[in-house]
Structure 1
Amino acid sequence: MAISVIDMSKLDGEERAETMAKIANGCEEWGFFQLINHGIPVELLERVKKVCSECFKLDREKRFNDSALVQLLNGLLETKKGEDQEQLKNTDWEDVFTLLDDNEWPSQPLEFKETMREYRTELKKLAERMMEIMDENLGLEKGYIKKVFCGGEGPEHGPFFGTKVSHYPPCPRPDRVIGLRAHTDAGGVILLFQDDQVKGLQVLKGGEWFDVQPMANAIVINTGDQIEVLSNGRYKSAWHRVLATPDGNRRSIASFYNPALKATIAPAPKLSGQANENGDAFAYPKFVFGDYMDVYAEQKFLPKEPRFQAAGGHE
């Protein structure tokens, strides 16, 4: 079983209805799907791969190799099997930094900033188009999700858009540490430009882990916790993880289109008639996204249902 690969160019032709249905199925059944022919120039994607890989080599690799995590793992290589299983339980084999509109970006290589600004502009447009498709598939008015994600009037209250640049270097003991622990994403729509050579990303479905297969120039889409709430559970946020691997330096560039911290999140009133299996019209409480993030910071790797209830308890 493989994650759906959807040709986005077919949204503009005779196969529009079929393509919309495939996207709806990806949101409902998996919480993950891959887009091809999404409109982002291949030339730009090639530049993104180049500058992110060079940034790691020039600015990040030595720091990672000198880190306490690497030193700890190296120190455990000679221990007896089983003695150190707990020591690396709450650790991720990941080098990561975040790009926002107003934080400090790496200065090397020289073309990094220009390339990533251009990339983020394209990804933000793609995220907003995906949300409009979700609006339509859910029977909501156009722009509903984006409007809910705003924390008030004016650009200063607009949705949050951040980009996380990660590398998962070769790991000498992938049996001792995971690349990134299993979690759901806290926010809205996530757009991932993953490595097209080194696999490692997996999504949980029906109690089984499935690979999100590497594919050149595809953008992986997954839905976060807030889309689950807005859709009243019709679209579920999916548990996913990254495995550490002994070979290859896996690159992962994830962009997050999230609500503003002051945005109020609740199931869309239009979806209240779609009761859940317990007969509840609304399966989720109403809460402020900033309150949810406070809970998520402490419970990211724990079951998500108590997070919703804890955030709703701030009301």
Structure 2
Amino acid sequence: MHLSIPPGNMKGTMEGEASPELKLEGDIPARYVMPQQDRPSAAAGVAPIPVVDLGRLSRPDADGGAVEEEAKLRWALETWGFFMITNHGIEASLMDAMMNASKEFFGQPTEEKQKYNNIIDGKRFRLEGYRSELLQSEGQTLDWSCRLSLQVEPEGERSFHLWPKYPKSLRDVLLQYASRTKIIKDCIMRALANLLELDEDYFINRTTTRARALARLGYYPPCPRPDLVLGFKPHYDGGALSILFIEENVGGLQVLRNGKWYNVLAKPCTLLINIAECIEIMSNGIFKSPPHRVLTNAEKERTSVAIFYGVDVETVVEPAPGLLDEKRLARFKKIKAEDYYGTVFEHFRQGKRLIDTLII
């Protein structure tokens, strides 16, 4: 196995030492070039992702505002699997601080970031740390991006010795930001249960503070050939729910629907939410986990902050019994969350989807 060397910080240059067998296709190392059928198309339209007012959604009022927000949320969950939220309670100043701390980390020299590399001895993978990808096969195509992953939940399992010391603000800002996204996660989980007419705490009880939450800061440097290379290959998110903060006016995120890729554009001070596989299973397929990817850009760099919320490892992930009857049969087999997490990453690395193995 070889440690893949991620793109660098400036103008698409490469970090690390070049391999003797490195081959180029134009200006790009061949291992980053996507197969012809997977390359991005310039003809993608814009996905009509709705913006849901989280404040109105969580506070029923006389003018029917909550009903309106619920309708937008249901439509988004049953079609795109993505929606944006506004009035979410995180101040613009905290969002700016989170984004700035992320940029400061990625703006450091390579040798500083590599101190937190999560590939140990060139082959052992650790969930937390700085990385791009582990090169596992000759035919594997790599992503044009770098990531810093840090576990923020459960609170007692935070490995602060793995967290970067620079920028100094990163730890405090990330902890404050994650504490606020946790409130958002719970609010959305209650809304999902209400839409399905389940007990309001049905999903909350399966995504408590015993469940893992992983923060992932992402950096996508400029790439001279965005027509050949992807920042992040097509994938589905594992776990329960993802909360994504991306810069407006940069773009790059795309979602697949009915065989066509659509651009997802951020609006100021909004967060992007997408449903992950475990919620799709528990909703018996009513709510969709969307396939998505990230493009590269020849001119602009891109930074993102994602918080991935999982389910308790002791949970049995299965269609909610309240959604089943003689006419509505289970569409998925049950699986222990511990077994799910034990195999989901292997499926991901193979370009497969674990949920497909559970379809009845």
| CA–CA distance in structure 1, aligned partners of residues 92 and 55 of structure 2 | 14
Question: CA 1:59 to 1:232, structure 2 compared with 1: closer, same or farther past 3 Å?
Answer: farther
1:244 aligns with 2:290: no
1:273 aligns with 2:321: no
| Contact 1:4–1:34, Cα closer than 8 Å, also in 2 | yes
Aligned to 1:218: 270
Structure 1-normalised TM-score?
0.82
| CA–CA distance in structure 2, aligned partners of residues 116 and 41 of structure 1 | 14
Aligned to 1:186: 238
Aligned to 1:169: 221
| Contact 1:168–1:249, Cα closer than 8 Å, also in 2 | yes
Unmatched runs of 5 consecutive residues or more in structure 2: 1-46, 118-136, 153-157
**CA shift at 1:232, angstroms?**
0.5
| Contact 2:242–2:306, Cα closer than 8 Å, also in 1 | yes
**Which structure carries more helix by proportion?**
1
Question: CA 1:129 to 1:61, structure 2 compared with 1: closer, same or farther past 3 Å?
Answer: farther
| Contact 2:206–2:312, Cα closer than 8 Å, also in 1 | no
Aligned to 1:116: 174
**CA shift at 1:59, angstroms?**
5.3
The match for 1:39 among 89, 94, 116 is: 89
Question: CA 1:21 to 1:41, structure 2 compared with 1: closer, same or farther past 3 Å?
Answer: same
| CA–CA distance in structure 1, aligned partners of residues 163 and 74 of structure 2 | 36
| CA–CA distance in structure 2, aligned partners of residues 254 and 274 of structure 1 | 39
| CA–CA distance in structure 2, aligned partners of residues 269 and 55 of structure 1 | 45
The match for 2:105 among 55, 59, 72 is: 55
- The residue type equivalent to 1:4 in the other structure is P
Q: Is the partner of 1:213 in helix, strand or coil?
A: coil
Question: CA 1:114 to 1:267, structure 2 compared with 1: closer, same or farther past 3 Å?
Answer: same
Aligned to 1:306: 356
| Counterparts of residues 3-152 of structure 1 (less than 5 Å) | 3-11=49-57, 12=59, 13=61, 14=63, 15-58=65-108, 89-101=140-152, 102-103=158-159, 104-149=162-207
| CA–CA distance in structure 2, aligned partners of residues 182 and 274 of structure 1 | 36
| CA–CA distance in structure 1, aligned partners of residues 326 and 257 of structure 2 | 23
| CA–CA distance in structure 2, aligned partners of residues 194 and 282 of structure 1 | 36
| Contact 2:277–2:355, Cα closer than 8 Å, also in 1 | no
| CA–CA distance in structure 2, aligned partners of residues 148 and 220 of structure 1 | 22
| CA–CA distance in structure 2, aligned partners of residues 88 and 51 of structure 1 | 35
- The residue type equivalent to 2:56 in the other structure is K
Aligned to 2:124: none
| Count of aligned pairs | 280
* Cα deviation 1:265-301 (Å, max 9, x = unaligned): 11000001385xxxx6000001112212233212212
Question: CA 1:161 to 1:62, structure 2 compared with 1: closer, same or farther past 3 Å?
Answer: closer
| CA–CA distance in structure 1, aligned partners of residues 179 and 99 of structure 2 | 16
Q: Is the partner of 1:100 in helix, strand or coil?
A: strand
**CA shift at 1:221, angstroms?**
0.5
Higher mean displacement: 283-292 or 221-230: 283-292
**CA shift at 1:62, angstroms?**
7.8
* Cα deviation 1:83-134 (Å, max 9, x = unaligned): xxx9775211111011214122111111111111100000011101100010
Identical pairs, percent: 29
Structure 2-normalised TM-score?
0.73
**CA shift at 1:163, angstroms?**
0.8
Question: CA 1:46 to 1:88, structure 2 compared with 1: closer, same or farther past 3 Å?
Answer: farther
**CA shift at 1:218, angstroms?**
0.7
* Cα deviation 1:8-54 (Å, max 9, x = unaligned): 23223421111111111111111001111111111111111111111
| Contact 1:292–1:308, Cα closer than 8 Å, also in 2 | no
Aligned-residue CA RMSD (Å)? 2.3
